[in-house]
């Protein structure tokens, strides 16, 4: 009789395994009309429905510096109490009033992130019930070749599932 566990193996040799996040879409929990995602919309590790957006609302696109965005997931906890955490971040060159105003829009407002990886897969972090929290910092550097940037981070904890991929057929509304 086979094990209760599933086989797990590395990506096939000879195939590209490109890391990194190409783009990040972010939206507030206030932009949704109902809880999302829920267990009912998850099948085989993928989300099968779009977020239920309030009419006229759609995600904001975060365009960070090349090779500066990342996401991370971890499962942790004692047997019977395990849960998942989601986190990530993106860096933006420069510091401007417009950047700070955009980052301040996340103040005391939870959200959900859809991160698009370098292979085009779209990963969902957070939920309306347990939104991600957002933090940011700015730095000027000490000399001319130091990074002057805004660094936006997001994180959440206590999820019943890992980061989940959106099915390929779903089209996310954008501006």
Arithmetic mean of pLDDT, 142-167: 94
* 10 within a domain of the structure (yes/no): no
* 11 within a domain of the structure (yes/no): no
pLDDT of 147 reads 85
* 26 within a domain of the structure (yes/no): yes
Q: Is 126 helix (H, G, I), strand (E, B) or coil?
A: coil
pLDDT of 4 reads 83
Which two three-digit tokens encode residue 144? 């001319």
* 1 within a domain of the structure (yes/no): no
**Beta 46-47 vs 83-93: how paired, if at all?**
unpaired
Residue 65 near residue 50, CB atoms below 8 Å:
no
pLDDT tens string 40-75: 999 999 999 999 999 999 999 998 998 999 999 999
* 8 within a domain of the structure (yes/no): no
Asked if pLDDT for residue 29 goes beyond 80, the answer is yes
Asked if pLDDT for residue 175 goes beyond 80, the answer is no
Print the domain residue range for 99: 21-166
Name the domain count of the chain.
1
Average pLDDT score over the chain: 93
Asked if pLDDT for residue 87 goes beyond 70, the answer is yes
Residue 167 near residue 50, CB atoms below 8 Å:
no
* 40 within a domain of the structure (yes/no): yes
Taken in order 60, 64, 66, 71, is the CA torsion positive or negative?
Answer: negative
C-alpha closest to that of 77 among 159, 9, 153, 6 = 159
* 59 within a domain of the structure (yes/no): yes
* 174 within a domain of the structure (yes/no): no
Whole-model pTM above 0.85?
Answer: yes
């Amino acid at each position: 009789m086979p094990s209760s566990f599933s086989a797990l193996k590395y990506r096939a040799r000879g195939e590209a395994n490109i890391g990194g996040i190409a783009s990040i879409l972010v939206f507030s929990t206030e932009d949704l009309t109902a809880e999302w995602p829920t267990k009912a919309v998850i099948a085989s590790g993928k989300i099968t429905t779009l977020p239920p957006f309030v009419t006229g609302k759609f995600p904001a696109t975060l365009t960070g510096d090349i090779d500066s965005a990342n996401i991370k997931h971890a499962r942790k906890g004692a047997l019977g109490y395990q849960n998942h955490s989601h986190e990530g971040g993106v860096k933006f060159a420069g510091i401007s009033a417009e950047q700070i105003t955009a980052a301040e829009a996340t103040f005391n407002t939870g959200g959900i992130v859809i991160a698009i990886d370098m292979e085009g897969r779209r990963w969902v972090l957070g939920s309306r019930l347990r939104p991600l929290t957002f933090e940011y910092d700015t730095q000027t550097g000490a000399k001319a070749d130091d990074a002057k940037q805004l660094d936006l981070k997001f994180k959440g904890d206590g999820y019943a599932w890992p980061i989940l991929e959106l099915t390929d057929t779903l089209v996310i509304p954008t501006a």
